[in-house]
Chains A and B, each alone.
Chain A
Amino acid sequence: GENVEQHPSTLSVQEGDSAVIKCTYSDSASNYFPWYKQELGKRPQLIIDIRSNVGEKKDQRIAVTLNKTAKHFSLHITETQPEDSAVYFCAASQGGYQKVTFGTGTKLQVIP
């Protein structure tokens, strides 16, 4: 089955700096890669996703890049703010197959 590895497990950045979280996946058939944000005590919520026919996607301060050849994808957050502090999960799936495999999460702390 699919295996998703996520690094780093914790990340501290100063407010205004950029943060990068990296994930690798094992199943070359995976073609859908969502990112979820989970604030303390809350539910995971989708913040951005990318499909395998696209190399990069941006939404305001967040962007995701995908390298299918290397089987890795990354989340980039620019101009970080304290409200970005949360646990971020990457995930991979075969799209219509619907089963999503999550990474182990990255706890991001933005220091004011």
Chain B
Amino acid sequence: DAGVIQSPRHEVTEMGQEVTLRCKPISGHDYLFWYRQTMMRGLELLIYFNNNVPIDDSGMPEDRFSAKMPNASFSTLKIQPSEPRDSAVYFCASSTNRGETQYFGPGTRLLVL
């Protein structure tokens, strides 16, 4: 198995632009998580899905952020419009229903200028 796949690995954009981050979880995993990591705030859970359904989005910072999971093998995190304070590493992780171990993707390093 290739593990959790994220794209792009690096993204540099200008303030106001739309950013879309993509994630492919490990096949057979029922849970998918989106995290944001910064030096100041550490590792923050933004949203997670179970069987493609959003369960808890209380960590989503504001309306500029949205996430979807149209099927079991794909999820997106969108920021529109992006702001410099959104600069961070965004991780996607997945886990099975019967175990709690979360497997993280390599992350997307986002820089908003």
Contacts and interface: CB of A to CB of B under 8 A. Distances in A.
Main secondary structure of the interface of B (DSSP, over half): strand
B104 A43 contact: yes
Determine the interface band of chain B, counting residues with CB < 8 A from chain A. Answer: 10 to 19
A100 B100 contact: yes
Contacts of B105: 43
Contact of B56 (A34, A99, A105): A99
A23 B48 CA distance: 24
B54 interface: no
Interface of A: 32, 34, 42-46, 49, 89, 93, 95-96, 98-105
B50 A98 contact: yes
Interface of B: 31, 33, 42-43, 45, 48, 50, 55-56, 91, 95, 100-102, 104-107
